[in-house]
Structure 1
Amino acid sequence: MTAETDRLPRRDVRGRDSKFHRLLVSGLLLGGLALSGVQAQDTPLTAQKPAQSKSSAVNTPKPLTDAEKQTLKTLFSKVRPATLRIEQCDNKVPGACDEPDGIGSAVLISADGLALTAYHVVEGASKLSAQTVDKKRYAVEVVGYNDQDDLALLRVSVPGGTPFLPIASARPSVGDAVLAVGNGGGGFLTAKSGRLTGLEADAGPGGATFPPGTLQMSAPLVPGDSGGPILNVKGELTGIVSYISISREKGPASFAVPVTASDARLVDLRAGKKLDAPIIGIGLNGTFRSLVTIDATDFKQISELLKLGDTPGAFFTSVNQGSPAEKAGLQPLQLNDRNQRVSGDIVTEVNGKRIINFDEFQYTVRSYKPGDTITLTVLRNSKPLMVKLTLIGRSQTGR
């Protein structure tokens, strides 16, 4: 379950609040960064803004009542047989699934074995296996996916009569009690409960990859719960777990992609559509990952050390081979032995839209589609340069 370098992370990640972020920036400056020879690497662990909700947030949700707890406990016993443990392994090879390459969750939504999960759970997997509540394993096929919204539809070779869950016809409301079922923390199809604390949540930097209606919950989800169902008290599916954020000030928050029975995305998934998110092929790696969301003031502080120039913008430390960025000649940041820039582009605009940092760069790129041509305004050696490139889908990278 790997991450692409210029994709906003949809994994279970740790967030940093603004106070901690500033301490981090100060620490980097005081420590001189020690970044000579930084190697590019793909990872989901990037700095995040604290989770916010654009509407109807409940900062401190009321604890579940005893009646609600009992309702959800009873519900769990009914819905658990329709949930799945998804493993990246070949179940035809003896012992291969004893230590799978990745673990996630899913939920069956039809009598013929269709199941929903988060796309990042199955992304890039050569072999997939689904385990049902009786610990039996079954083959998995990816029918369709929506990379941008982190949804995937699977066909699982479960036997006829395996339970499945209905999809809610209406959106939930803030304050609703919710039940999650997943495989986080070494568990096997375990229950976690809480309240819906926000709609239209902005979970990641800029919320670039989060669809309208994103659900925020107080349920204490952890890695491995991704792809599992969020259920209302009727046992109806209202969301698919996608993301967690941890803030020192606000604590953990969990997020889910909303789904309803009339969701047009489900029609596309059932039709077998595989919709990629656009990328250009750049990365911000190593210690620099902590600078993904720096503002103009922080940029100037960092620039005093790294000699990035006076104009804030997005810098990057790697360019993927064969990517649009490489073909367009974009230059990653290179430092000398004094941790000062000797080369490296600073991107200040995308199609005329001003950007300040790597986060905003990604956010803007993600508003386009694979095949679109965009124009970047780049500062190279302090001189403006216009660079055109055509976006590709992430699956075209072969990674």
Structure 2
Amino acid sequence: MTTDLKETIRPVDPAAVMGLLPASPRILALGEPTHGEGTLHAVRNELFRQLVEQEGYRTIALESDCLMGLLVDDYITGLDGTAGEDAAGASAEDELDDVMARGFSHEWGAFPGNRELVRWMRSFNAGRPASDRLRFAGVDGPLEITAAASPRQALTALHGFLAERLGTGLLPCSGDALDSLIDPDDRWTEPAAMMDSSRSVGQSAEARELRLIADDLVALLGAHAPGLIAASTPAEWERARLYGRTATGLLRYHFWMADTSPARMTWLLGVRDTMIAANLLALAERGPVLVSAHNSHLQRNSSTMRMWDHPMLEWWGAGALVDAELGAEYAFLATAVGTIRHRGVDAPPSDSVEGLLYALPGDHHLVDAGRLAASLGEHLPDARVSPWFGYAPLDPAHLASADGIVFVRDAEEH
């Protein structure tokens, strides 16, 4: 068994990754079993750097708010023509501080690994022509664990884009009417709504009208696409489509926040991943994409989760949805970890998948998932049980559906 396992491992580098795949994928997804661990971010950053430099990837996407991510994209591409040419001293760090604070959701701008990634992306772009610059994107909806954002930003931006180019005659309502239906924002972001559907505004008369308005605005984008494209820069058109996807997805999410049926949580999980998938597919239209998110969002298998007093929930994650569209042009590398000792996750059981990989020498490896699954045969080990809710061990039944596994022996605080 040990000999067979040694034959499945490779270095974590672009040549080894591409050697596992039939062709260079349009979307290369790197999952993670937990969020925020410095060692995992360091491995991700190095692999993404090499893939950018050696394989020509020019978009890096993270599991963060797609609208907030526009600020990060502006920063690293240097829309003012100064990408990588920061002012000296504290002012440059202050600017980066602001981007990390306002450009990420889930407070993930505070993670040092994400900060280093953004810093490197901006430096990479220094002196490059716009056509060759690295781009950043958030692919998640404007969603937090206990709340969802107001639809104001997406709806008003889309309304303004159309009003400027088509005039107001075709629009389903005025800007003032739109503001009136949305006001006030804090009723949309009510934290108690996640646990108590009666606290959600998502099925109010105003929210239902806004869903119809959003649908009409998106329909206008499609019906007038030739003229709108001609009257816009590629970036303006790309962002208008993003606003449309986000407005309709966010209003759908709020609708199901207010639902009282047993299907409520399955709908919420599905809507979120549908938004992630749509954002990924849109990014892939402009070129190859590297994306990092939780394994459960990126895997090809259906995802499961147990929440509060709900029975086991099951839905199709973004990776499964994208794979259904792209087939071999989508590739998925799961990340597995041996220990996260500062979280109480000690050495894995020797008969778990993580335990078998943990027994091999080296700090981290790329594992041929298909060969590993074949070497294990029909009698797969039981899944590891995590003592910490924030870490999801690898499901042995999912091995054969991953293109590879990045195994990190010990995740340490950075």
For the criterion TM > 0.5, the same-fold answer is no
Structure having the higher helix fraction is 2
* TM-score, normalization by structure 2: 0.24
Task: Calculate the TM-score normalised by the size of structure 1.
Answer: 0.24
Q: Which has the higher contact order (CA 8 A, sep 6+)?
A: 2
